[in-house]
Amino acid sequence: MAELLFIATTIFVAYVVFVVMGDKKPKPSAAKPEAAITPAPEPKASQAEAISPPPVPTEKPATPRPSTRKTAAKPAAPAQAAAPTATADSVKNPKTGEVAKISGNYAFAKRWIKDALVEEGLLDKVYKNNELDEAATTKIQAALQQLAAMDKYR
């Protein structure tokens, strides 16, 4: 019985492959010979007069409606406002200007944040994920809060 099921499955798969491979139709441009393509006949003079474009309706130009809002002249924004600003839970890389959010988990903090913690003397080294324990985590969280409070990283 298993042999019959195997043979039927093989025949079905062969049929599906045959149908899929046989569905490749030639492109219409390649199928038609150039001699068979004839240009469209030009309309006669009487037909050209009978077929005229529809008249274009003339509309008066749209007038701008007066604004009902009271707009005050806005002063020019300083250049610092255009730059991304760091919020309380994010820090700014002073070298590149990148603003990154301080994550609650040290393992997900960006590399430059970890390096900045060591450069500023808040941590003694960059911790690896397998070195993180309860004491190291509390030390790291305190260091991250001190880093976020520094003006250099705001």
pTM listed for this prediction: 0.43
Say which residue the tokens 């990154």 belong to: 100
- In this prediction, residue 90 carries a pLDDT of 83
CA–CA distance, 56 with 11 (Å, rounded to integer): 65
CA–CA distance, 3 with 49 (Å, rounded to integer): 77
Report residue 100 as tokens.
Answer: 């990154």
The rounded mean pLDDT for the chain is 76
Q: 101-128 pLDDT, tens per residue?
A: 888 888 888 999 899 999 999 999 999 9
Cα angle: 84, vertex 86, 88; to 5 degrees: 155
Mean pLDDT of 33-45: 57
Q: Is the pLDDT of residue 78 over 60?
A: no
CA–CA distance, 30 with 12 (Å, rounded to integer): 33
Cα angle: 78, vertex 84, 89; to 5 degrees: 130
* 36 phi, psi to nearest 5 deg: -75, -20
Give the residue extent of every domain in the chain. Answer: 103-153
